[in-house]
Amino acid sequence: MYNLIMFGPPGAGKGTQAKIISKQFGIPAISTGEMIRAAIKASTPMGLAAKSYTESGSLVPDEVVIGIIKERLTEDDCKNGFILDGFPRTIPQAEALASMGVEITKVISFEVSDKAIVDRMSGRRLCSACSASYHTVYAPSAEEGKCDACGSELIIRKDDRKDVVESRLLTYHRETEPLKEFYSKLNLLVVVDGEGTVEDVSKRALEALGVVLHNV
């Protein structure tokens, strides 16, 4: 059973790799960012409270995201493992996860330079209906501006504006990066080079998990 954490700066490819590993292992990929965006779209009380944080590149308060994850991990599809994408992002979140009795198998840290991140975020496009993610250059949709999966319009995420990306990177270095030491001390951290093609990165990530594949 794999209980995995995809770790890394914004735009490192955590979501992209989480979806690939999810298919490979048949376990759910759980993205706190996606859950928060869905709540904002639906204007739920949590979404309304989270909006100003995400749009300015800050972290949503710990108690909110801890609550979301606690509830999500009790769902049936998590019984055989799961992949957390974007959680934990602070030491209190990591401590809360441990206190839920969750045993983490590995934390995969995708290392990508700040320059490559800005490049990835500026080209990212997201499906307005199903959240599928594309990149104008590295992972384009078949028809420009339309989702391959459902045909809906592709949009630019509000927090992918240049000034917000810079703020998200600062937040990452200040509040999230210290978790590398936290998980390294627990012997759970595996560092993976996150640059190169999506396929190259998948191969490295799967190898880090002890899986050697020729076609991913």
Catalytic annotation present for 14: yes
Measured from the CB atom, is 25 or 172 closer to ligand AP5? Answer: 172
Applying CB under 6 A, which residues contact ligand AP5?
8, 10-16, 31-33, 36, 53-54, 57-60, 65, 86-87, 89, 93, 120, 124, 133-135, 138-139, 159, 168, 197-198, 201
Strand partners for 126: 133, 155
Catalytic annotation present for 168: yes
Catalytic annotation present for 157: yes
Catalytic annotation present for 124: yes
Whether 194 and 112 have beta carbons less than 8 Å apart is answered as yes
Catalytic annotation present for 125: no
Contact residues for 26 (Cβ-Cβ < 8 A; gap 6+): 80
Q: How far is the CB of 11 from ligand AP5 (least distance, A)?
A: 4
Measured from the CB atom, is 10 or 28 closer to ligand AP5? Answer: 10
Q: How far is the CB of 201 from ligand AP5 (least distance, A)?
A: 5
From the candidates 120, 168, 203, 204, give the one annotated as an active-site residue.
Answer: 168
Q: What is the DSSP string of 93-134?
A: HHHHHHHTT----EEEEEE--HHHHHHHHHHEEEETTT--EE
Beta strands in the chain (DSSP E): 2-7, 29-31, 81-85, 106-111, 124-127, 133-135, 154-155, 189-193
Q: How far is the CB of 42 from ligand AP5 (least distance, A)?
A: 15
Measured from the CB atom, is 81 or 123 closer to ligand AP5? Answer: 123
Q: Are β-strands 154-155 and 133-135 bridged in parallel, bridged antiparallel, or unpaired?
A: unpaired
Q: How far is the CB of 76 from ligand AP5 (least distance, A)?
A: 23
Annotated catalytic residues are 14, 89, 124, 157, 168
